[in-house]
Amino acid sequence: MLSRVVARGVPVVAIVLACLPPPAGAEFYGHVAASSVEESNVNGGAPAQSDSRQALRATAGVRLDMGATGRLTLQADGERERHAHFRGLDNDALALSARYRHPIGFGPVAPWLVLRAGIGRRDYDDDPRDTTRVTAGVGLGMPLGPGAELEARYDHARERADAAVFDTARDEISLEGRAWPTRWLSGWVRVGAATGTSTLTAASDPALASAASDSASDPVFGAGFTAYRFDSRERSAGGGLRIELGRAGAVELSLRRVIVRADGADTYASTLRSAGWSLHW
């Protein structure tokens, strides 16, 4: 309930912060975004269940210039997400995050170190899925020339849900390249590999139940479906484009493929296609 109230207030906070004169060395910013995502395997198991979801997101933040030591960014995000078919997955979320970027050396070709941390809460219509998420990460980046950069990352995420079967933890390493050939066009590509625990929902199966570390009935996907938690390994790859529209905002398109190997179970794959619009202050 708290995250729903705060998430609804984030758009107002974003507008107010964006209109305030920033103190010396600080820059307030905000944006709103709407997106639609098509996912081929929203349950993560078999038989695969496809669904689409629409989301509204609002962001408010401040960038603090630390001089030669880098820049600190503090940000709050609120999101409302609604699914077309599996309505128990509808949710409201709030997240708070911090990001510190420190240059290693001087000049436009100097590499940089990035430290990240965050905490968030996501409240679902299906209450057992209600989750608190804590994240931490580090990245090392470098410019590849005018209008391009590369960053290697390590990220840890831990989720604690109201039902233990939805508790997960993961460690991921990834490599992301970003480019902006013109002021109106930018793009990114990303590959990653993760290990940890994940939860998938599949048709009830005694063999899966004996191999899983935890399991529970999952009525969101209908009678005869069970949620299972497994140790798992994940591989992912994706990319996207952003097209600036001036005062009309920006259009964003992305495609992502995820393959999860659950120990003691099968290999499951999902494709995510998204399209969205955003407006920044």
Select from 3.40.1160.10, 3.30.1360.120, 2.40.160.40, 3.40.1080.10 the CATH code of 2-280.
2.40.160.40
Residue given tokens 């077309």 in the structure block = 84
Buried-state track 65-80, b at ≥16 Cβ within 10 A, e below 16: eeeeebbbbebbbbbb
pTM, entire model: 0.88
Handedness of CA 3, 52, 199, 269 (dihedral sign): negative
**All structural domains of the chain with their residue ranges:** 2-280
Residue given tokens 């940890």 in the structure block = 196
> pLDDT per position in the chain (281 positions), as tens?
444 444 444 454 445 445 545 555 789 999 999 999 999 999 999 999 999 999 999 999 999 998 777 899 999 999 999 999 999 999 999 999 999 999 998 877 889 999 999 999 999 998 899 999 999 999 999 999 889 999 999 999 999 999 999 999 999 999 999 999 999 999 999 999 999 999 999 999 999 999 999 999 999 999 999 999 999 999 999 999 999 999 899 999 999 999 999 998 899 999 999 999 999 98
